[in-house]
Structures are given as C-alpha cells and as structure tokens.
Chains A and B, each alone.
Chain A
Amino acid sequence: MTPKLEQVHEKSKRYDWGFDYARPNPKFPTRYLIPPTGKDPFRHLIRDYVRMESEKDNRVYGALDADVRYRNANLAEPRWVEAMKFAVPCFTDAEYQAVTGAGFLIASVRNQELRQGYAAQMLDEVRHTQLETALRRYYLKNYHDPAGFDIGQRALGNHPIGTLARASFQPFNTGDPIECIMCLNVVLETAYTNPLVVALPQVATVNGDHALPTTFLSIQSDESRHMANGYGTLMCVLQEEANVPFLQEALDRHFWHQHQSMDTLVGVVSEYYAVNRPWVYRDVWEEWVVDDFIGSYMSRLDQFGLRPPARLADVARFVDDMHHSAAIALAAIWPLNFWRIDPLTQADFDWFERAYPGWYARYGGLWERFAELSDPAAGRLLLQDLPALPPFCQVCHVPCVMPRIDAPETRIFTHEGTRYAVCSEGCEWIFGLNPTIYTGCANWWQRFHGMDLADVIVALGYVRPDGETLMGQPHLNAERMWTLDDIRRLGYEVKDPLAA
C-alpha cells in the first residue's frame, strides 16, 4: 500500500541538519527574528512536482507550435505586438531576479518547511524565465517586424524602462531576506500577479494574440504557490511582535515602489498598445489590488498589527493618471525606443474620454501632435516642443511627469554633493530610508549629455541591420521609416535636465 503523501513528506523533512554541534553563521543577515516552525501548505515531492510542471511546459510549447501554423503572430494587432518588444523582456527580468531571489531565501531562512516552498519557487521561476524567452523567440521568428526582438535582453537593459525594471525587481534578491519576501511574494506576487498574469492576457486575446495568454496562464498556475510562500513566511515572522514595525515599513516601501512601476507598465501596455480594450485599467486595479489584496488578503493580517500600506490613498490618486503621462512620455522619446508606436486615432480618443473624463483636454493635443509629426517628411520631433527633457526618478525611474504632466509632484534635491530628482513624496521617503541603495545609479540622461540624438541612438544599439534605419518608429508604416540621417538633420542635442 502506498504511504500517504503527508507521511512521506514528514519523513523527508527529517533529512535536515540539526546544527546542535555548531553555531550556524547566517549567510545573509536579517533584522527579523525567524521562528523555527512554519507550515508548508503545498506538500509535494519532487517526482510529482516535476511530472506536473513538465506537462504544463508541453502544453505551452504545443500551443505555440499551433500558433505558428495559424500565423497568429501576424494576425494579431501589430500595435499590441510592438509592446511585446519591451513588455516581455520586463517580465523576463522579473522572473530571473526571482530565480536568484528564491535562491537567496533558501540560503537565508533556517526554517525547513519554508525552504521547501522556496525551492519549488526557484524551479518555477526558472521555468517562467524559459517560457518567456520562448515566447520572445516565437515573436522574433514569426512576427513581420522582428527588429527590437532580435537584440534580446540588451534592448531592455539600455532603455529607461530597463532601469525601471532593474530597480523594481532587484529588491527580490537584495537586502534583508524577509523584506525580499515582502517585495516579491507578498506585494508583487499577491497584489500584482492578477493584473499582470491574468488580466493582461485578456487584452492580448481581444487583440488577436494567443501566444501570450497561453504562456502567462501556465505561469499563473504556479503563482499561488509563491503567494503561499509569502503568506506562510509572514505568518511565521508575525509571531514575533518585534518584527511588526519592520514589516510595516517594508510593506509601505514595496507597495509604493511596485505600484509606481507595475501600475504604470500594465496601464500603458493594456490601454495604449491595444486596439480593443476589454476594461479600464483603473477598474482592474480596484478589483485586484484594493478589493482582493487589501480587502481580503491584508484583512487577515490585521489582527497581528499589520496595517494597509500608508500611501494607499495616494496610490489610488496616481493610478488615475500615471500611465497616461508615461505613455505620452514614451511617445515623445520614440527615437530612443526599440519598438514602433502606432499613433492614436479618434476611436482611441473617444474610448479614453469615456473611460477617463477630461482625458482629451489634457493629453489629446499631444497625441494629435505626435500623429502630425509621425512621417519623416514632417522633419520635427515632439521632443523639440518640450522646454526640457524630464529627469527620471532616482528611486523608481519613471519620468518625473507624475502623476500628471501638467501637475507633477517632482522633488529635486542635493545629496552629498549630487543633484537628484524623485517623482513623488513616496519615492522621496523611500530614498531617505537608505540612500545608498539608490545613489549608485547614474541618471539616465547623464551619459548622453551634449550628444547629438542620432549618436545616442547608435550608442544604444537601436538601429536596424541596414545600419541606417531606426528600430524605433512613430508609426507602423514599413515604407516610411525614419533613418539616422533624418535625425541628424534636426540637430537635436540631448541635455541632462539635472546638469549644473
């Protein structure tokens, strides 16, 4: 008779080191008291886990094969697929940082049940990284405009969005191990996993792309295990009252920061890079982040003294506007992108006005200008209309036009002799918690100060194989693409807005 799973699981846990003969030095220190007992809610043995995950993988690769036969990549809306050039590498960065994050946790947390969960998570994140790389390869090989997919993760790394991604995801594996869990498992994987991994595929589907939903739904089937790791760890450390103020600070910090990057990213992609829109991003945010994460998940932690994030009301305020500002900012810097932007039409304006009353008065004119200038014959860039380039926030790296381009809450200050900009009070507070985390990163414009825009594009590597045509374009017309010469003719010099 096969022994019960729980019995085998309990037995396997007995194969661990007792450390009663030596004092184990923590490899990575923590300021939290971690009780030795926890509870692994996902009892599994490696042989069952591997079989299950292997079948999941087969389904995804099989579905991608079918998508090739159905020519799905070129039947989907190109406006949407262009966004995949920057979105998929972003997610891949997150998955990879989570691989090392889970490994970091295995090495840090001396609680055997919890370590089981982290081990499974690490394997999951490896699978997710591979799936997303396979998804990108699928687009690269099957979409009619592979430029931008072809230079791999380097494309993202050189772009401001790359800095945003790195700043957002590095806290998965850097710093106090318990706070890594707060950032990754609790905030990102519990609050934001639904907008990212469940809601975004809905946008893909209504815009004709079946490859992303297939991949992401397979990824999502593992996310609940990661949420359980977060919850399990929280339940464990909440047993010690001394940990609560640290947890509160970690929650406040990571909730603000992840909101700044994730709400902006998903809001931009789901509303501005779609022709068909199944919902308004703000409504998705309300349902998944407020009603589910705050209203349901966090309410269970209330009894231990953990409160909802301090800046929740400000986050709600920013969610209404941030992605609109970010989208037009990305359109303004289109020559520095590695994807093409399809100009918005009247149908798009109508949708935005209905969903966000007042949108046209604030943003419509800029998008009309963008469309006006999209043909190279126009001989001018939206950038040239701006009085100055916006600095990027030293903490979250969004452009400092937040939440609204006409009412930014930017703060500029000097710290140890260097000028920095932050986009908001929330980021200013985060900077103050530990400036060393943030001061090591150069401001994005700094390297290019004084350079011709064309030379910046060459330095970034965002030129197509012919050595002349830009990867980034302000339209989807393959016949009328901008070249380096078109840019040089403008004589536009990049000026770092924070330069003395």
Chain B
Amino acid sequence: MSVFNKSLIQKSIGIGVLAGALVFTASVIAGVADQDIKAFQSSIQKKFPAVEFAEFANGAYAFDMDAREQWLEMEEFAPYEIALEEGEELFNTPFANGKSYADCFENGGIGVRQNYPYYDQEQNQVVTLELAINQCREKNGEALLGYKKGDIASISAYMAYTSRGNTFTQNVPDDPGAVAAYEKGKEYFYSRRGQLNFSCASCHIQSSGNMLRAELLSSALGHVTHWPVYRSKWGDMGTLHRRIAGCNEQVRAKPLAGQSETYRNLEYFMTVMSQGLNVNGPGSRK
C-alpha cells in the first residue's frame, strides 16, 4: 500500500492553501525587494480580484474551474505518486560512504523546500534545492545527477512533499552579490528573447489568464511553489528548470543548461516575487 495515499494528498493540498491564507501576514520578510514584491503581487491581485492570494500557488487552476475540477480528479490518483515513493527511497538510501542526504540538510532534509533558493554568501551564488542535492552528492563522492528529470526530480519531489504547507519567505538581503543575482533574474524575466521575441512577462504577466492555443496562461505569482511537476505532456516528472528550458524552446530561444547561473538567478527572482505563498509540490500539470 502506498504511503502517499490519495486522501492524504488531497488533504495536504487543502491544508497548504488554508495555511497560506492564515500564515501570510506573519511570515513576510523585509528586504531589498520589498517594493518589487508589493508592486508585483498587488498588480496581479488587482488583475484577478476574485482569486484568493493563497490560490495563486495552484497556477492556472486558480482561474479555470473546469480545469481545476479535472486537476483535483487527477490528484485522486496523483501521477507523481511513483516518483514520490522513488524519491523517498533514494533520499533514505545511504551513499557509499555511509552518509545520506539527511546529513547535508538542516532538519535532516525534512520540511526544508521553502528555504530554497537562497543566496549563499560563501559560495557567491544562488543555491536551489536541486543544486544543493547535487552538492550533497559531490561532497559524499557520488556522481552528479542530471538537473531536469530522473532521480533529481524524484528526490526533489519527496523533499517538496515533506514541506507542503510551509511558506516561502525569501527576500533579498542587503548583500551586493544577492542583489546582483536578484537583479539578473529580474532582467531575464522581463527580457524578450528568441525568434518569437517573448519574455516570461509577455505570457505570465501581460497575458496571464488568456488562452494560448488550448491552454490558459498561468500567472507568474506562485510559479515556483508546486515544483517538481508530473507533466502529462512529458509523461514524466520534471524540474522547474526543465520547464524554463521548454519555455525557451517555445519562443525559439536556445535553452540553457539546467541549474545554469542564469536559470538559478531567475528562480531566485521568481521565488522572491512569490513570497508568502506555500509549498504545494510536487504538482501535476497538463
């Protein structure tokens, strides 16, 4: 019998949404990006006045009730369940040297998803959860995992699942490196690229809530909360960076490598903009 039973998964989605509504006010962290966060979130909430703040964590399913019904039905037999079980096993399997992932993360790696990404002042770079997973492996003499799918997605899925309902509180500390990384992520988000000349903002700010072919475009607010994701189109789990690369391809821009500095800076910016929302990963999407 699966540890991650259906009713538990549905309940945890509900709890995550409610907890977000209750906890938001208390957990906002002040920082360099205060004005950006306020402007970003209030602009989007003004565009979608009927959507509760916490619901933005559910992406397009916050706007489209038919799609939401289908999504909730999909969660009855969550397509990421197998990845969750695999992820738990991988997470708990010791490395060759006897240590495990639990030795690399605070709280043994349980309930920590919301702490990523963050700007590491010693490493002078943004550290995402997937980067931290591979850094743990490297530290313990293990081969690195690919960053877009496979085991990294399963382990990340498990760690996200143990963190459901926890709140993203990221802001940007008053550190030149952190500010630079955040600004680069912001630049990427708003810069047009590719032959089709679209930016992330083109679809997920200006056109959010509109249809693009057969799909409703989600808002950038809450984009990071539900990763990694089982995507029906992939028939597979994938990380946020896999999806970012896919978006690049869709606008005919050559994608970058998963966990490239640019993608990590972008994830940093996106997470700061989603400050106050809760972890609700892993997710399932079309």
- Are A and B co-members of a single complex? no
